């Protein structure tokens, strides 16, 4: 008798299919007539696009959220954003814990892959901390938003505050304030502060949270040596994040200072707010307070670079991640200075980490290039800058657009929908998921031969 071959999915395949399943369910709900304010279905393609951009916490929208979707539709979008921000596996694991079921070995591996963790130790506690921490931060953010939105919108401001808080923390960039995103609040310190704080906290990554909290508890003992007590991962994340945010804000201020299409007509303090806001939002959030189409070429290219880098690992942000870029920068510096090892903060980086960083950037760039070419064919009238801006934004799950998203035709919508999905699940995860052959150890060593590089 022939033995039946048992088909099992790998943890990576479960994560990919989990996101796909949520998108399909969400699109099925959003295509219903009562999901819109008009009571007329938007059609499946726009419903699929909206479900994808919500679940993948991207923020690109073909239909204005505030004008198109009913309360039911907005609730569906918000749930998709929350699931996408936390991750499908985290949400399902949380439900298991609420039902007082233990997280088994298989589920533990799923969580480990979902958060890109190196250990299986105490994953149940990790999930609890992630969910509780997320709800606390989003709750505080909503309360602060209410101080502005309730006076402006009345009781409706409560729902707007909650929606914006979840969207900001999950780095989704979808809002129900106005058709022009947060442009009306470009000079409002409270809205700017709350939005930027939520985006940064979501983008830092959960493991950095716990590490910083641990060090803060030891402040009395170590005081100004506290930074040295952080893990290498946290040091890299905090350093790179600070440089990108403040460096980006300074460059935006210089590039846009006299630009009448963005911030040229505002006072200096307002220009500072707008520059800082743009710098933070390009780190995969997607809210906008100035016209992206009105940016100078220098600011547009800077935005593309910041979107490409994105946030940090084990968080809600996208992009190739800050740690990845730092690892490649450190490796390049070591190569140029003729060092045998790559060291940062008195620690040596493993070859595995360097190899993974190179693979992530390589695959990410491949997705951007292929998506740009396909979108150029689908939208031949669009400029090259607008096309690249759109595809990088979609791949890095940012959500900023130079007014191209709303004019996408059917083929363009399909290209960007696929790009957002690939960007959210992770380029490396996609390759691993469809790898059919098991890794075979190299028993036979091939001879080494030098080649010319560079």
Annotated domain spans of the chain: 11-430
Q: What angle do CA 187, 190, 191 make, to 5 degrees?
A: 70
Residue with tokens 């096309």: 387
- 156 to 112, 142, 313: CA distances (angstroms): 39, 13, 35
Buried b (16+ CB within 10 A) or exposed e, 37-63: eeeeebeebbbbbbbbbbbbbbbbbbb
Q: Please enumerate in sequence order all residues whose Cβ is within 8 A of that of 21, keeping only pairs 6 or more positions apart, or say none.
A: 88
Distance between CA atoms of residues 117 and 314, nearest Å: 8
Q: Answer for the pair 156, 240: CB distance below 8 angstroms, yes or no.
A: no
Nearest to 364 by CA among 326, 329, 397, 410: 397
Distance between CA atoms of residues 330 and 240, nearest Å: 12
Long-range contacts, 215-224 (Cβ 8 Å, 24+) = none
Nearest to 11 by CA among 79, 132, 93: 93
Burial bucket for residue 213 (CB in 10 Å: 0-12, 13-18, 19+):
exposed
Q: What is the dihedral of CA 394, 400, 402, 404, to 10 degrees?
A: 50
State the pLDDT at residue 353: 84
State the pLDDT at residue 96: 53
Give the three-class secondary structure for 344: strand
Q: Answer for the pair 78, 51: CB distance below 8 angstroms, yes or no.
A: no
Distance between CA atoms of residues 174 and 286, nearest Å: 7
Give 112-164 as a DSSP string. HHHHT-S--TTHHHHHHHHHHHHHHHHHHHHHHHHHHHHHHHTTHHHHHHHHH
User: The pTM is what?
Assistant: 0.86
| Cα dihedral across residues 39, 44, 50, 54: positive or negative | positive
Distance between CA atoms of residues 58 and 76, nearest Å: 16
Distance between CA atoms of residues 416 and 210, nearest Å: 35
Which residues are registered as beta bridge partners of 343? 348
Distance between CA atoms of residues 45 and 27, nearest Å: 9
Q: Answer for the pair 172, 58: CB distance below 8 angstroms, yes or no.
A: yes
Distance between CA atoms of residues 112 and 260, nearest Å: 48
Distance between CA atoms of residues 60 and 399, nearest Å: 4
Nearest to 19 by CA among 100, 151, 114: 114
Q: Answer for the pair 403, 379: CB distance below 8 angstroms, yes or no.
A: no
Tell me the backbone φ, ψ of residue 344, rounded to 5 degrees: -140, 135
Q: Answer for the pair 41, 31: CB distance below 8 angstroms, yes or no.
A: yes
End-to-end CA separation in angstroms for the chain: 59
Walk along the chain (454 residues) and give the pLDDT tens digit of each residue: 455 545 566 666 767 777 888 899 999 999 999 999 999 999 999 999 999 999 988 889 999 999 999 999 999 999 999 988 877 556 655 655 554 555 555 555 555 554 555 555 556 677 778 888 889 999 999 999 999 999 999 999 999 999 999 999 998 989 999 888 889 999 999 999 999 999 999 888 888 888 888 888 877 776 677 778 888 889 999 999 999 999 999 999 999 999 999 999 999 999 999 999 999 999 888 899 899 999 999 999 999 999 999 988 877 788 899 999 999 999 998 888 888 888 888 888 888 888 888 888 988 999 999 999 999 999 999 999 999 999 999 999 898 999 999 999 999 999 999 999 988 876 555 555 445 455 555 566 667 666 666 6
Distance between CA atoms of residues 17 and 23, nearest Å: 10
Give the three-class secondary structure for 347: strand
């Amino acid at each position: 008798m022939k033995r039946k071959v048992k088909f099992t999915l790998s943890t990576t395949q479960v994560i990919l299919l989990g996101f796909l399943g949520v998108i399909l369910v969400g699109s099925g709900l959003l295509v219903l007539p009562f999901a819109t304010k008009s009571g007329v279905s938007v059609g499946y393609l726009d419903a699929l696009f909206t479900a994808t951009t919500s679940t993948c916490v991207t923020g690109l929208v073909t239909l204005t959220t505030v004008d198109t979707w009913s309360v039911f539709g907005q609730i569906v979008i918000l749930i998709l954003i929350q699931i996408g921000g936390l991750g499908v596996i985290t949400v399902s694991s949380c439900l298991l814990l609420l039902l007082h079921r233990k997280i088994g070995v298989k589920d533990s591996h799923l969580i480990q892959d979902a958060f890109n963790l190196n250990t299986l130790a105490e994953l149940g506690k990790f999930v609890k901390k992630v969910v509780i921490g997320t709800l606390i931060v989003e709750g505080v953010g909503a309360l602060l938003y209410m101080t502005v939105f309730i006076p402006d919108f009345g009781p409706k401001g409560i729902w707007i505050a909650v929606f914006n808080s979840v969207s900001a923390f999950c780095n989704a960039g979808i809002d129900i304030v106005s058709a022009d995103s947060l442009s009306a609040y470009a000079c409002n310190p409270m809205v700017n502060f709350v939005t930027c704080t939520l985006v940064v906290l979501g983008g830092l990554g959960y493991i950095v949270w716990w590490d910083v909290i641990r060090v803060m508890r030891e402040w009395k003992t170590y005081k100004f040596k506290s930074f040295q007590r952080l893990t290498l991962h946290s040091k890299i994340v905090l350093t790179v994040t600070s440089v990108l945010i403040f460096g980006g804000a300074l460059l935006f201020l210089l590039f846009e200072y006299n630009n009448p299409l963005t911030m040229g007509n505002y006072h200096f303090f307002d220009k500072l707010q707008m520059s800082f806001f743009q710098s933070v939002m390009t780190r995969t959030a997607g809210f906008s307070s100035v016209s992206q189409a009105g940016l100078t070429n220098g600011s547009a290219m800077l935005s593309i670079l910041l979107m490409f880098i994105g946030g940090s690992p084990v968080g809600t942000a996208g992009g190739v991640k800050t740690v990845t870029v730092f690892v490649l920068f450190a490796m390049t510096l070591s190569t140029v200075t003729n060092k045998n090892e790559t060291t940062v903060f008195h620690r040596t980086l493993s070859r595995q980490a360097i190899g993974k960083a190179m693979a992530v950037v390589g695959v990410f760039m491949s997705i951007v290039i292929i998506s740009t070419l396909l979108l150029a064919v689908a939208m031949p009238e669009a400029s090259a800058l607008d096309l690249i801006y759109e595809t990088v934004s979609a791949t890095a799950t940012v959500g900023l657009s130079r007014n191209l998203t709303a004019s996408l035709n059917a083929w363009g919508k399909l290209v960007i929908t696929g790009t957002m999905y690939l960007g959210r699940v992770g380029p490396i995860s996609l390759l691993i998921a469809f790898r059919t052959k098991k890794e075979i150890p190299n028993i036979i060593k091939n001879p080494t031969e030098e080649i010319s590089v560079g």
